[in-house]
Structure 1
């Protein structure tokens, strides 16, 4: 897998935080109202930094292995995509955006997590199962978070059930595709004598 420079995940984080700050503190932008951007301004950066912080603690600051910036970037990208979709008003302007977003974001997120977690998992089918299962659990957790932060008292309560089921299914499907991709990358890495 190609090396990604350290500044790529930093740039993704900064672009996400900048848009969240605009959504929270610039008044009069209707597309941001009622979507819990105050909570997102706190939660998104923390969630984006969780993978690098966990890796740093687990590997140690002085470990010889280079930081997996590509995996960190993949984990962070869904948050940028979500915020950018709101900034560009894609959720309201493009009917299929939310569905594509759930599939693609879970593919990105689970590919990043899979690259971090599954390097030594064998056989390949176990990688697929692990990444898909993790993605399904995260999709359920995401939908619970959406319900708690802005659906239960918002205007979307009437359509939330059907939307939630679709979002969970698309997220799990994205995780399944990520599982196959990670299994392929991990098996190539295991076959590469330079990685031994």
Structure 2
């Protein structure tokens, strides 16, 4: 991932309605930080700031507008779900968010690894689909386990209200793994990045 490409993608003007929507999600993210500062506590502000920052970073990655908007929206919904206690209020919400949120994060992670040369691009003809799926699943399980460690640390060091339970932990990791498998199928079969100017000229 060249610095020139990152800079170009970050400062470019939106080229489609989807890209405008993705930028509106970013605006909503930072508006959420302000809202949390007014109506909630510092922990909630920190969570929403991380979500808003993640949505901003997405602009640097050159994702297609729809993928960018969906990913930013999913991360923002996941953050607000914690602030509004939806995980406790809706029995199935936690599992659904773990599936979807892990999936979109794995998609982004796979593309970052490919563009930095760590792995072959998952959509390349030379990359078998099962390799992309296996790598995505491994990445998703690792990220899910890391998230559960963060929750455990948060429960013990920050706020005991953060729910930690063995069955919940295992269930969340399984849900994250399922989302990662779906992410692997997606990155192996669908182009998720914008066409760069160099690629466009080469056509």
The number of aligned residues is: 169
> Among 69, 85, 93, which residue is 2:81 paired with?
85
1:45 aligns to what? 52
Contact persistence 1:77–1:109 (CA under 8 A): no
Contact persistence 2:134–2:184 (CA under 8 A): yes
Change (3 A) 1:97 1:161: same
Unaligned ranges ≥5, structure 2: 1-15, 115-121, 192-199
> Among 19, 22, 25, which residue is 1:6 paired with?
19
What's the CA shift string for 1:170-189, capped at 9, x where partnerless?
Answer: 11111111212322325xxx
1:155 aligns to what? 160
TM-score, structure 2 as length reference: 0.67
TM-score, structure 1 as length reference: 0.69
2:187 aligns to what? 182
Unaligned ranges ≥5, structure 1: 28-32, 57-66, 187-193
Looking at structure 2, the residues matched to 156 and 165 of structure 1 have their Cα atoms a distance apart, in angstroms, of: 19
* Greater Cα offset, 37-46 or 125-134: 37-46
How big is the shift at 1:157?
Answer: 6.8
Looking at structure 2, the residues matched to 184 and 68 of structure 1 have their Cα atoms a distance apart, in angstroms, of: 15
